[in-house]
Amino acid sequence: MDSNHLNRRGFVASVAAMGASLAVFGAASASAVKPRFTVEGDQFMLDGKPFQILAGEMHYPRIPREYWRDRLRKLKALGLNTLTTYVFWNVHETAPGVYDFSGNLDIAAYVRMAHEEGLWVNLRPGPYVCAEWDGGGLPAWLFPEETGIARTSDPKFIEPMKRWFKRLGQELTPLLIDSGGPIILTQVENEYGAFGADHAYMAEVMQAERDAGFSGLLYTADPSQFIANGSIPGVVAGINFGTNYKAEEEFAARAKVRPDGPFFNSELWGGWFDAFGDLHATMEIPPLIASLKWMLDHKMSISFYMLHGGTSFAWYAGANWDNKGYAADISSYDYDAILDEAGRPTPKYEAVSALLKNYLPASAFSPLPEPEIPAIIPRFRLKQAAPLDQLLLKSTLQKTPKSLDALGQMHGLMLYRYQAKVAAKGELKFGDVRDYALVRINGKTVATLDRRLKETSVSVDLPKGAVLDVLVDTHGHCNYGKNIGRDQKGLIGGVTLNGTPLEGWAQYGLPMDSPTGLTFSAQAPDGPAFYRGTFSVEKPGFTFLDMRGWGKGYVFVNGHNLGRHWSVGPQRAMFVPGPWLKAGENEVVVLDLHESAERTLAGGANEIWDLPGLVKA
């Protein structure tokens, strides 16, 4: 008996155990209100009439709030009728029980705005979302130590998830379609079949959504080869695939497990994401149009992933783990999408629009909003500097190094300091370095260690009394694969010199929440430092800051964290949203871990990429 058969047998058993409660999983909960969005046969039905979902995915934290309406109108102008969005748990609950739905995180306002623009909403609340987002949206505070509880029925995971869904429900259940809002679908988990086959866990996630008030139609989404693991009888089963797959073959694979409809391509990957050190990923237009045409001919529902990717600002870009090891995602989430990082229609937009016009009435389309004029900024020098040490937090003393996560710091940098008690030289070895480290002795950098290259040791010569500093910069927690919840940051495990343990470390955190509190001068310090400069614009508009010549670090404009820059590419410029600029003088602060680098910037109209490479996703 093969494992797939065992998985399916376990699935049936777990479903049966849920009893009568499963009767409401795929439909509205018992209510006097007749549900407006339902399934009849193989069709979605809206108010009793067949409805084809034509959606585009866009994520509210990746788009400045001032741009939301513009992007929604561009979705609508393409002829689409639905906005798809994930909900990112870790941006809303940054500490247990501490919630934030303000400003750019006001997801209810985002959903209401979509409704105002005549759009329906497909909600993807997770709790896990992948999305090339830090930890797949799971808060790092869930995992202070390496653990296997992520996406399991362990109470240490399930109970926080239930509390989160309850709080999210307060924001969004009033916006369900049967309450007069635009939310027509709610997803259960996300691509779970690619992670596991614990159907009891899936039932718990589903029940938690119901208990939080998410009535109405539910669905799952998985690549077709994992649909047996991740789908649920009686619940709509979407499938995800890229434009270089053939849609006909993907739905044929689905039919072997789920021959029933509705037939929903819940993610049509029109592009792909980028990792540091790779070439910029692109995908050709013809395969996208071929897949799209076949599905339109068969009246299937579709959601473009991504319609517009935007930017993973600050530290929220994620990371993947595969047979090559750890790969950190860049801050740009351009995704080679239908709208580019700055929200401009690309040739893909024009190709998709031309095809959709063969299937939809003219009334389905609307004019595009007026384009934003980019701000072109002449090259200028950052003339002031401040040492990184100024923002270090108070130290904690540890016998052996602790991860950032263990000390309650979810992102940023950590300085580990050791003073040599005796002279020694030889191999300095770490259990693991997550994710990039400068090794410094008495204030001088002697080596760098890069997790991508599996570097965990260096030869050193430590005089007695020497100060050994290991400054660790972090990237995203793994958002895909078995390392979810196991990717704590900083120095992992013990430290030895020639096999002898080094004990007694002072640790200084630097969360990088803000560059405020720095005292700048004209004297450039040795070692990692912040650099400050100003530039002026007559009229605010988006721009891309040219980072060529800089080393590695973060960029702030007028206090906004644009994300990570790193000379390994493929991203060579940082997107600055127009609403984050002001007429007149603007401030930019760049943290650079590397010395002797370029200290000038300029702003242009376009991203600067390393040579693109086609991917077969």
C-alpha 489/C-alpha 438 separation (Å) is 15
Order of all β-strands in the sheet with 543-546: 377-381, 600-604, 543-546, 573-576
Catalytic one of 57, 189, 191, 341: 191
C-alpha 115/C-alpha 140 separation (Å) is 33
Catalytic one of 57, 209, 267, 607: 267
Length of the chain (residues): 617
C-alpha 548/C-alpha 529 separation (Å) is 17
Strand partners, 530: 386, 591
C-alpha 82/C-alpha 67 separation (Å) is 18
Q: Which DSSP helix (H) or strand (E) runs through 295?
A: helix 285-297
Question: Is 595 labeled as catalytic in the residue annotation?
Answer: no
C-alpha 127/C-alpha 141 separation (Å) is 14
3-state secondary structure at position 579: helix
Environment class of 596 (CB within 10 Å of its CB; exposed 0-12, middle 13-18, buried 19+): exposed
CB 307 within 8 A of CB 56: yes
Order of all β-strands in the sheet with 552-557: 384-387, 529-537, 584-592, 552-557, 560-566
> How is residue 19 written in tokens?
């009893």
Question: Is 191 labeled as catalytic in the residue annotation?
Answer: yes
In order of 20, 35, 83, 165, the CA distances from 213 in angstroms are 18, 14, 21, 9
In order of 7, 12, 14, 23, 237, the CA distances from 18 in angstroms are 17, 10, 7, 9, 19
Q: Which residues contact 25 (CB under 8 A, 6 or more apart)?
A: 206, 210, 218, 232, 234, 235
C-alpha 471/C-alpha 600 separation (Å) is 25
Strand 600-604 relative to strand 377-381, pairing: antiparallel
DSSP 362: G
Cα pseudo-dihedral 23, 26, 29, 32, rounded to 10: -100
Task: Please name which of 229, 234, 295 lies closest in space to residue 266, comparing C-alpha atoms.
Answer: 295
Task: Please name which of 371, 368, 296, 365 lies closest in space to residue 80, comparing C-alpha atoms.
Answer: 365
Residues annotated as catalytic (active site), given as ranges: 191, 267
